[in-house]
Amino acid sequence: MHTPGPHLETLTHRLADTPVEFLAEPRIAGVANAQAVAVAALVNDILLLHGARAPAASLQGFIGAQVKADRNRLALAMILCWLLADDWFIGQQLPQPALLQVLGEAARELAASTPAHQFTQDPERREELARIVLARLGFRPRDESVAQATDRLSAISGTERRRLLEASRLAEQRAREIREALAKKAAEESADKWSRE
């Protein structure tokens, strides 16, 4: 998040103006719907806009299974494709792994707790999505310091809060394990010293 990105309002406005084609039903394996969007093809098109090529294996995750959660994840990936097609993002020529991480992992995390279309309809969810995309790609909103961007992201995003809490829990667990190992080693050294005397 150290690199300034676009103005946040530009991205939230783009999300509010998401075309109906990007809000259509995603194609789900085994469900017959001629109007459904092939999300893997859409993701591939976005990667091509950024000058990247995607091997077929990396697009497999965008072919939906017959579960409601997968439908929401794919619907959110379509919205993210629209956001990442913004001229500012295209001008950055973002690397394929970073794009796939946002379209895959970030979409999965966000879709687990929020219906996809809320990220276009609700102002707070639009801000959350724009901030998460910027942060995952290493950017922050223009005119915000790193501290301001980090604070606002953790304040508005339940997903980021959970991620930070999990990281904090893991760090505390690791610190506890180190303390216990040091105490055990000190006790063993003390016992060795006592037995020699």
Domain residue limits, the chain: 3-156
Please tell me the distance from the alpha carbon of residue 149 to that of residue 186, in angstroms, as a whole number: 43
pTM, two decimals, is 0.77
Please tell me the distance from the alpha carbon of residue 43 to that of residue 15, in angstroms, as a whole number: 17
Of the candidates 25, 124, 101, 125, the residue with the CA atom closest to the CA atom of residue 70:
25
> pLDDT digit string (tens) for 129-182?
999 999 999 999 999 989 988 888 887 776 665 665 666 777 888 888 888 888
Of the candidates 50, 111, 115, 34, the residue with the CA atom closest to the CA atom of residue 83:
50
- CB-based burial of residue 103 (10 Å sphere; 0-12 exposed, 13-18 middle, 19+ buried)? buried
> pLDDT digit string (tens) for 43-65?
999 999 999 888 888 888 888 76
Please tell me the distance from the alpha carbon of residue 57 to that of residue 134, in angstroms, as a whole number: 26
